[in-house]
Chains A and B, each alone.
Chain A
């Protein structure tokens, strides 16, 4: 594959720099700490790390309220640390992207401090000011739990300013060309330092216009195209990954004609994976996939099970939301805005079978999977912490003090690690799971290895196969070109390699064209009970499906429906060679 299109086959890993590893015993994770853990990420099979905001910030919104775009928050490190991190990562074949918040700044940002100081200062027009709060009356309030309006009155300037998120995050005024130029300067600054791209936060809201929802406006798309054009010329191979929490048809507009964002998150798919498992039927998934339009060549979806935000339920109907609340967030503390603030482990009630099923879907449905730090261990959450902090507790490295995350005093930690008997660090941590070859961590690593061997998972077409049993979902990922899987199968990990620990490295397998069309068939049981299913595999008549993990040959496909029997929450991945 063209290296500039690396993101199409990449596995992403989203992490909170403050929460990953603390190298200087101040209780806060930092870039130096992250550098020390790159071996672990390489061992796991990660291709790209997405750094949550590391900029100076008063931290009203998890660092998304940035008070200086051009440096690193001192508790996380400095620019040199970041450069060293990027270089170390690149040596391991890992790329690094960071959050870029274009829509707003912190109210502590010098731009805003200047803008609010008077009505005629040089930056007076860098934000959205108005004499009353009547403008944009039709626009929804996103953080509806805490903000009653998108307008807040500023005493000093005696005017209202506009904010789509918290009132500490005033929206920038992109109608002012100086703002656009300033933000382009920010983009160039980080790309020049070696970052591999950005996860663009809250992009639909950049431009505003009266009488509209102030979302997805044409001017916003024009700006994204402008940034992309500059990146293509000056920074080829860097990534724009957009956070667009909208319906698939609106999201695909952010790919443009392949000239806007390289990737967008598929938000509607995520809650429906959970819903399908709870309902034990495939239609929540297949229905949203059927509504998802094709995307231009060179574009890719980002798909995820959980992330640093709540499990967003904006992209479901009210009825579906009620259902999800009832099923996954019976305690109101688990809910936030229009979502559920929980990590994967507790969401699946610590049922490893369900977690495996969900990851099986995540790694095989169209898109590049984005894992959230700690979810590879099925780490828990702490719903008694405020805002979304419950899912941002320290990474659990070891059963030692402070989860092996930091040598600081416990009281110094930015957030307490989990200590409950089920999800706490004594029970759930990297060290223990690396030692145990049957751990969830090892299982996931094996699945990532297999996924890397078959580019079909990343870029193959998707065809849902009819199955008579609604609790079974079956689909084929088929590559458009004739090629085969890696000729040399990297040895799957075993107890021996587990004992060798994170230094063990897997030689990359080079795909060798074999002149056949190899497809991957994925069959999953969404039910907690064993299920039979009959699949129509007529096209592969005469072919012997090979199970991907154990290379087990299954009975040959005939003209008759193909029978499979699945264990509760069972998943099968097969190789199918088309003749």
Chain B
């Protein structure tokens, strides 16, 4: 017999109140909201020792999800290892005292969770907790599946899941494939996607290319601007492929969400489509099978980098907004490389970095415009498109 609902309520609420992510979320509300905390939903996933339950509590109308595991009091500390902060407290499961804790700290239960989230279709030998954020915790299974276990729940379908499923429907391949999502009583509890180990953030590839180019400053003879294309670390063919992936992303978004017109008076001669909206070199990843796009909501891969993204509001705009965002990030990463150079070579580095940016911006656009069918979205020829993007980049570079 599992612990009673009131036992869960008695343990989960104080536990939440000790969690920085919970307190950060709650700080937006006035104190009166604490009186409304209650257990809203409970499902026993595994009745026994160890046991596992999915517990939803609401604070006002805001639902929080905690996965609670329990074991014999004597065994639990060894299982939890370094995660002693995950302890909720003791209660009884009918057979005596057990120690309850956040189940994500327990590898065996975390593996079991994958089976629940995928209705028994997937299992794994190994799991690791990648990060634990306010909105969700991320787990990687056997380095090929990724689960996002939501903490703050939203009514299903979450925009993130909907977007992913629509892209899957229209056959968009340059992203992490959704595998399953776990829903109960109108709430999305978890999303399982494919995980590609070894995917490298676009920014790191760009830095690798720039490192090679700027490293030539140490070689005999001043590097010349025309050397940029010949630099060993030339990125242009990679960026061209990224342009192609971006073109197919926009065609997929257009197919999934429809094509609109830009508002009257807009000078860009493109259609308006649902755009990515946060498209830059930290959102694209090179894998052994080419580029993939991340950042639809936050993402297994993005968790690796320092900044975590805010969920994007769906936005209809010119696809050039995404192109300009990415092109602008080429400029930013070039500037970052230059700034890391010693002062003595910085002027020379700056010239090279500018040429690098120009070359790769051009390759990116060429790849994009080369995608079959892209003319449905973009009526401009290449020089006009390049000019339009350039002015959008300039606008981004303006201090606001």
Which A residues are closer than 8 A to B by beta carbons?
A: 278-281, 283, 286-287, 289-290, 319-320, 323, 326-327, 464-471, 527-529, 536, 538-539, 559
Q: Which residue of B lies closest to A560 (CB)?
A: B128
Neighbour of B230 across the interface among A287, A326, A536, A559, CB < 8 A: A326
| Chain A residues within an 8 Å CB radius of B198 | 286, 464-467
B133 interface contact, C-beta 8 A = no
Bound together, the chains give a CA A307 to CA B238 distance in angstroms of 29
Alpha-carbon gap, A23 to B198, bound state (A): 54
Task: Give the residues in chain B near A464, CB-CB below 8 Å.
Answer: 198, 288
Q: How far is the CB of A305 from chain B (nearest CB, A)?
A: 18
B: number of interface residues (CB 8 Å) = 27
Give every chain B residue within 8 A of A529 (Cβ-Cβ): 211, 215
A278 with B143, Cβ < 8 A, contacts A283-B286, A470-B208, A528-B215 known: no
Complexed CA–CA distance, A278 and B237 (Å): 14
Judged by a CB distance under 8 angstroms, whether B233 is at the interface is yes
Alpha-carbon gap, A538 to B286, bound state (A): 23
Q: Which A-B residue pairs are the 9 nearest by beta carbons?
A: A466-B197, A466-B198, A290-B288, A278-B232, A470-B200, A286-B288, A326-B230, A287-B288, A319-B237
Known: A287-B289, A467-B198. A279 touches B128 (CB 8 A): no
Shortest distance from the beta carbon of B270 to any chain A beta carbon, whole Å: 27
Contact A470 B286 (CB under 8 A): yes
CB of B208 within 8 A of CB of A466, answer: no
B204 at the binding interface (Cβ < 8 Å)? yes
In the complex, which residues of chain A have a beta carbon less than 8 angstroms from the beta carbon of B229?
326
Is B304 an interface position by the 8 A CB rule? yes
Contacts of B212 in A (CB 8 A): 279-280, 527-528
Chain A residue at minimal CB-CB distance from B230: A326
A559 touches B128 (CB 8 A): yes
Please, how many angstroms separate the alpha-carbon atoms of A218 and B109 in the complex?
53
Task: Give B361-372 as 1s and 0s: 1 = Cβ < 8 Å from A's Cβ atoms.
Answer: 000000000000
Taken together as a complex, chains A and B put the C-alpha atoms of A470 and B234 apart, in Å, by 14
Residues of B within 8 Å of A280, CB to CB, are 208, 211-212, 232-233
Bound CA–CA A465/B198 (angstroms): 7
Question: In whole angstroms, how far apart are the Cα atoms of A528 and B197 in the complex?
Answer: 25
> Does B289 lie within 8 Å of A539, measured CB to CB?
no
B359 to chain A, nearest CB (A): 13
Please report B residues at the A interface, Cβ cutoff 8 Å: 126, 128, 143, 197-200, 204-205, 208-209, 211-212, 215, 229-230, 232-234, 237-238, 240, 286, 288-290, 304
Assembly CA distance A417 to B204 (angstroms) = 45
Q: Are the C-beta atoms of A279 and B286 separated by less than 8 Å?
A: no
Smallest CB separation, A578 vs chain B (Å): 13
Q: Which residues of A contact B128 (CB under 8 A)?
A: 538, 559
26 A-B pairs (CB sep. < 8 Å): A278-B232, A278-B233, A279-B234, A280-B212, A280-B232, A283-B205, A283-B286, A286-B288, A290-B288, A323-B234, A326-B229, A464-B198, A466-B143, A466-B197, A466-B198, A468-B204, A468-B304, A470-B204, A470-B205, A470-B208, A470-B286, A527-B212, A528-B215, A529-B215, A538-B128, A559-B128
CA distance A536 to B199 in the complex (A): 13
Determine the chain B residues whose CB is within 8 A of the CB of A287 once the complex forms. 288-290
A469 in contact with B204 (CB, 8 Å):
yes
Q: Which residues of A contact B290 (CB under 8 A)?
A: 287
Asked if A536 and B143 make an inter-chain contact with CB atoms under 8 angstroms apart, the answer reads yes
Contacts of A290 in B (CB 8 A): 288-289
A257, chain B: closest CB distance, angstroms: 27
Which residues on the B side are within 8 Å of A536 (C-beta)? 143, 197
A249 to chain B, nearest CB (A): 14
A450, chain B: closest CB distance, angstroms: 26
Which A residues are in CB contact (< 8 Å) with B205?
281, 283, 470
Q: A464 CB to closest chain B CB, in angstroms?
A: 6
Complex CA–CA separation, A323 to B237 (angstroms): 9
Residues of A close to B143: CB separation below 8 A = 466, 536
B240 CB contacts on chain A under 8 angstroms: 319
Name which residue of chain B comes closest to A541, CB basis. Answer: B126
Residues of chain A with a CB closer than 8 A to B215's CB: 528-529
Which B residues touch A468, using CB under 8 A?
200, 204, 304
Contacts of B288 in A (CB 8 A): 283, 286-287, 289-290, 464
Q: Is the CB of B232 within 8 A of A281?
A: no
Report how far A283 CA is from B239 CA in the complex, Å: 13
A30 to B232, CA, bound (A): 42
Tell me, rounded to whole Å, the shortest Cβ–Cβ distance linking A190 to chain B. 41
State the Cβ distance, B137 to closest chain A Cβ, in Å: 17
- Within 8 Å CB of A467, what residues of B? 198
Nearest-Cβ distance from residue B362 to partner chain A, whole angstroms: 14
Q: In the complex, which residue of chain A has the Cβ closest to the Cβ of B198? A: A466
Among B197, B205, B288, residue most surrounded by chain A Cβ atoms (within 10 Å): B288
- Give which listed residue, A279, A465, A469, contacts B233 with CB less than 8 A: A279
A379 → chain B, closest Cβ, in Å? Answer: 24
Q: Which residue of A lies closest to B82 (CB)?
A: A559
Given contacts A466-B197, A470-B208, whether A538 and B237 have CB atoms under 8 Å apart is no
From A289, A326, A470, name the one whose CB has the most chain B CB atoms within 10 angstroms: A470
Q: In whole angstroms, how far apart are the Cα atoms of A394 and B314 in the complex?
A: 69
Minimum Cβ distance to chain A for residue B138 (Å): 15
Assembled-state Cα–Cα distance A278/B235 (Å): 11
Q: A468-B204, A470-B204 are in contact. List 14 more A-B contacts (CB 8 A).
A: A278-B233, A279-B209, A279-B234, A283-B238, A283-B286, A283-B288, A286-B198, A286-B288, A465-B197, A466-B197, A468-B200, A527-B212, A528-B215, A538-B128
In the assembled complex, which residues on chain B have CB atoms less than 8 Å from the CB atom of A281? 205, 208, 233
How distant is B42 from chain A, measured CB to nearest CB, in Å? 32
